[in-house]
Amino acid sequence: MIGKLMKYLNDLFWIEKFKGKNKFFLFYARVAMNGYLVFVIVSLIASMVTLNLDLFFESIFVMIFFPIIYHIIMGIHRRLHGL
């Protein structure tokens, strides 16, 4: 299960595309992936513990839109740097 999750996150954050090409982009992709994973887990646990539906919906919102914003920003950077 964890292996499938990590493979999905590696595909989602383009880890394989940056390996061997640009160390800065690879570093940023890993930081964004791990930050995303930690934020999602902590916010979902916090929303369940406090029974706060606003925090739960905010977590779902971030789970959906953070990868979209990441792809837009990193897509622009990839095109600018020719990766």
- The string of pLDDT tens digits covering residues 45-69 is 998 899 888 888 988 888 888 888 8
What is the pLDDT of the chain when averaged over all its residues? 84
- Contact indicator for 5, 35 with CB cutoff of 8 Å: no
Binning pLDDT at 50, 70 and 90, where does residue 78 land? confident
Q: Which domain holds residue 51?
A: 2-81
Q: In this predicted model, what pLDDT tens digit does every residue of 16-54 receive, in sequence order?
A: 888 888 788 888 888 888 888 888 889 989 988 998 888
Q: Does residue 82 carry a pLDDT above 80?
A: no
Which pLDDT score, from 0 to 100, does residue 21 have? 80
Number of domains present in the structure of the chain = 1
Q: Which residues contact 2 (CB under 8 A, 6 or more apart)?
A: none
Spatial distance between the Cα atoms of 52 and 22, rounded to a whole number of angstroms: 41
